[in-house]
Amino acid sequence: MKTILKKVRSRKKTLAEHSILLFCISIILFGQSCVTINPGEIGLKVKKGVLSNEDFVAGKYPQGPRTSYILFSTRVQELPIKALLPTKEGLEAKVNMAVLYHIKPEAIRNIYLTLGMNYENEVILNNVSAISRETCLNYRAMDLMTQRDSLEVNIFRNLNADIGHYGFVVDQVLVKEIDVPDEIDRAIEKKVLSEQLIKQQEVDILTQQKATNASIEKQRKEMEFNFEKQKREKETTIQQERMDADFAVEKQKKDAERTVIGAEAAKKAQDLNNSTITPLLIKYKSVEVLKELANSPNSKIIITDEKNPINMRMYDK
């Protein structure tokens, strides 16, 4: 009996283990039959050779034996390029550049149908090579070293114009390294040294010019100061002379006023005297004069007339 129970328990354990194993295998098979689309990707479903009209975004989707998903990245991608580019004078420059681009999500279906999955080599790389060569022909080898930004902008503009209608967007063109022939390197070095010398001369001239301007400005200020000083001294002198002249005029005016006042006083005194002399006073004065003459020790003859109060002629005896 115990042996039978052991066998039954052993069979149940084996069945449970088989069930768990089958479950795990089912999960694995189911996982393998699904496809995962990550963020930044868009998938196209092809079932039995027919392209589905639906675009599949990030997520997990079941995949049958005759079903496949074509994944496209919509992230910015970098395409490195190394090329020998001809210059304007017929030389060749080794250029190491990178093109950053991305795909428009709405253009993925058309890209797959018209270009396939080798679009990067067939469209982007070929156009970058052709446009880079064509653009580089407008530059001399020496100019490539000093006009790298201009080269990047022109390639970027022309490349966007050529591949934009396919559904690609060029985000940036980066020229990382330019290797020109040795003679160009020496010419560039000589040019750089010449430019540095010219800049140094310009700095020296500017410094000298500033010093000259400062000296001229100093002289101008000194001249203005001396002019203002002389002007103030002249104004002071003129003001002093004006004050002296005003004082002299005022003095003469005062002297004239005193003279006029004296003359007016004399005139008033004379007028007063004239107004106080009367015939009686004259007769009185004449009598006094005759009295004094009569008392004089000299002998005199005095003759009077009726017209004058006293008309004397004196004769000594």
Give pLDDT tens digits for 163-177: 999 999 999 999 999
> What is residue 28's predicted lDDT score, i.e. its pLDDT?
46
> What is residue 11's predicted lDDT score, i.e. its pLDDT?
57
> What is residue 19's predicted lDDT score, i.e. its pLDDT?
55
> What is residue 62's predicted lDDT score, i.e. its pLDDT?
83
Residue 59 main-chain phi, psi, to 5 deg: 155, -175
Provide the pLDDT confidence category of residue 99 given band limits of 50, 70 and 90.
very high
Give pLDDT tens digits for 11-48: 555 655 555 555 454 444 444 568 888 998 998 988 88
pLDDT at 123 over 70: yes
Provide the pLDDT confidence category of residue 249 given band limits of 50, 70 and 90.
confident
Decide which of 92 and 21 is more confident.
Answer: 92
Looking at mean pLDDT, say which of 59-73, 116-130, 171-185, 236-250 comes out highest.
116-130
| Region of poorest pLDDT, from 193-202, 205-214, 264-273 | 264-273
- Paired residues of 80 in beta bridges: 98
Q: What is the mean pLDDT of residues 248-259?
A: 82
Give pLDDT tens digits for 206-237: 888 888 888 898 888 888 888 888 888 888 88
pLDDT at 315 over 50: no
> What is residue 316's predicted lDDT score, i.e. its pLDDT?
47
Q: What is the mean pLDDT of residues 190-215?
A: 85
| Region of poorest pLDDT, from 9-23, 68-82, 101-115 | 9-23
Q: Which two tokens stand for residue 213?
A: 């301007």
pLDDT at 8 over 50: no
Q: What is the mean pLDDT of residues 98-127?
A: 92
Provide the pLDDT confidence category of residue 157 given band limits of 50, 70 and 90.
very high
Q: What is the mean pLDDT of residues 149-164?
A: 93
> What is residue 308's predicted lDDT score, i.e. its pLDDT?
53
Provide the pLDDT confidence category of residue 151 given band limits of 50, 70 and 90.
very high
pLDDT at 251 over 60: yes
Q: Report the predicted TM-score, pTM, of the whole model to 2 decimal places.
A: 0.51
Distance CA 114, CA 292 (A): 169
